[in-house]
Amino acid sequence: MSQLPTHTVDKPKGRGKKVFNRVLILVILAAIYVWAFAGVEEFEIKETAGQISKAIFDGIIHPDWAFVNEEEGLIFGLIDTLAISILGTFISAILTIPFGFWAASRRDKSGFFVTGLGRFVLSFIRVFPEVVLAIIFIKAVGPGSFAGVLALGLHSIGMLGKLFAEEVEAIDHGPREALIATGANRIQVLVYSVLPQVLPGFISYTLYRFELNVRGASILGIIGAGGIGAPLIFALTSRNWPRVGVILLGIIVLVSAIDLISGYLRKKIV
Amino acid sequence: MSQPPKKTIPKPPTRIKHYLTAAIVLALLVLSYIQTGSSFMDLITNRDQMASLVIDMFPPDWAYFENIIEPMLETIRMAVIGTTFGAIISVPVILLCANNVNRIPWISYPARFVLNLIRTVPELLLAAIFVAIFGLGMIPGIFALTIFSVGIIAKLTYESVEGIDKGPMEAMTAVGANKVQWITFAIIPQAAAYFVSYVLYTFEVNIRAAAILGLVGAGGIGLYYDSNLGFLNYPRVNTLIIATLAVVLIIDFVSNKLREKLL
């Protein structure tokens, strides 16, 4: 009787490599964690921690309502915060438009100078924290809300520019080509084919950035650049917890309200 | 012979709404300009001061690099640990918030509300509060970054979880899986890639956040910004800026590459 042919099933290829990769990732992660946790200072909870937490909690439950209507009080601080973010966002939106076109990759003439450099400049701007920018502007124009406006205006360009560039990259080239075919000049092409396509996106992203800037503006006061941050840091350092509580509530209400309004507007636009 | 239908040009749609919007925006801008006491003349008249500030920054104080390596590493450590704890805490929060996992509205809506509240508090403010509780150092920074990370990771992931394919979930229900099996085999395989990608993104954000937490005494490189700017030592400030820039760019690059591979 002839022997039946034996079939051997090959092991699925690439499995060893996959396992090896997984093990490698795990080892790297473990190394990172060992390194990270080894550097943490000893964690000891001070005896006062409990009392202070309780005091903060008490303060948040029983806010210092009298601060709301004071001169230079909560309302004033929140309006100042809002004003800083409105003006800062507007400045950055205007300044970002050329950056957005600069950093967008184009079919015809993308290269180092048109796209690459623009992207690098934008990530360079993004790296500077707004607080550090605010410190630098304070040196230039003095402490106050205007330094905050400039800091937000400059910092926001980094993120907005990236989003604007993506919007420009996504446009439909048909209308542009049609206009060129009818002999429109460059400005007419821009106004009648490019801008109508990118504007809704630009406005929507600007509103989104505005939401972030309201949060940003509420802490700028910590280093003296206007807004609600200044009374907040005073209250924190003087351990006036009821006042911290009322300011915290104020920030939460303001930010939530702006998020709601801006979210509604963005839904309508896009 | 019948009259040819009259051709009328339709009136262009009314533009009052646009004008009104423009007027409101303009009014807001003018009011903001007055409220903040902005003056672009100041900016122009003070341009020499700005220029001299920038000139003072060069050349950077390269010798200072040695002193800031340790706080820089501390900043990265804070971001790593804060992001990790944030990711761990996010998991139950995501399961509570996603309305295709947790079908009980009176739990998922309050959970989302709390999540939104957390996201409204800026990280520097969280750090300032934790510094008051735990004293100066890395610990308050880690706590602040943990809470801040939960806000970002949980929000982004639960929205992705709500968009996953229903098929596997229905299949698991059909074979009689219990809730744990249901989550392990229907949700996690679909959501894991998103989750890891968002954790990496949050890590990038946290590196930037950790770099400034020192301003309120919560450890990391921020403290050095504060002291050097206080002493008007601009070459050193420049060194700090260059070091931060380098670290952020490297971590962004690595994290972006990893995320591209994941999704």
pLDDT category at B81 given cuts 50, 70, 90 is very high
CATH of the domain at A161: 1.10.3720.10
Angstroms from A11 CA to nearest CA on chain B: 24
8 A C-beta contact, residue A62 and residue A245? yes
pLDDT category at A153 given cuts 50, 70, 90 is very high
For residue A94, what pLDDT is reported? 92
Burial of B222 (0-12, 13-18, 19+ CB in 10 A): buried
Per-residue pLDDT for B149 more than 90?
Answer: yes
* DSSP character at residue B96: H
Mean pLDDT of A10-19: 71
Q: Is residue A176 part of a domain?
A: yes
Mean pLDDT of chain B: 85
Residue A59 in contact with partner chain B when CB distance is under 8 A: no
Q: Residue ranges of the alpha helices (H) in chain A?
A: 15-38, 47-61, 74-103, 117-127, 130-141, 145-169, 174-181, 186-189, 195-220, 229-237, 241-269
- A positions 221-240 inside 8 Å of B (CB): 222-223, 226, 232-233, 236, 239
Q: Is residue A101 part of a domain?
A: yes
Torsion angle of C-alpha atoms B129, B130, B136, B138, degrees rounded to 10: -140
**B14-59, pLDDT tens digit by residue?**
788 888 988 998 998 888 888 877 777 777 777 777 777 778 777 8
Q: Is residue A11 part of a domain?
A: no
pLDDT category at A241 given cuts 50, 70, 90 is confident
Longest CA span, chain A: 107
Which tops the pLDDT comparison, B42 or A164? A164
**A100-136, pLDDT tens digit by residue?**
888 887 766 666 777 888 888 888 888 777 888 888 8
8 A C-beta contact, residue B76 and residue B207? yes
Q: Is residue A93 part of a domain?
A: yes
Torsion angle of C-alpha atoms A115, A121, A124, A125, degrees rounded to 10: -120
Task: Indicate the residue of B43, B124, B244 with minimum beta-carbon distance to A222.
Answer: B124
**Three-class secondary structure of residue A38 per DSSP:** helix
* DSSP character at residue A71: T
pLDDT category at B174 given cuts 50, 70, 90 is very high
Looking at the structure of chain A, the number of domains it has is 1
CA distance linking residue B143 with residue A194, whole number of Å: 46
For residue B37, what pLDDT is reported? 78
Superfamily of the domain at B63-262: MetI-like (1.10.3720.10)
CB atoms within 10 A of CB A178: 13
8 A C-beta contact, residue B215 and residue B225? yes
The residue extents of the domains of chain B are 63-262
Q: Is residue A79 part of a domain?
A: yes
**B204-244, pLDDT tens digit by residue?**
889 888 888 888 888 888 888 878 877 878 888 888 888 88
Tell me the residue range of the domain where A178 lies: 59-269
8 A C-beta contact, residue A160 and residue A205? yes
Query: So what's the ipTM on this one?
Result: 0.79
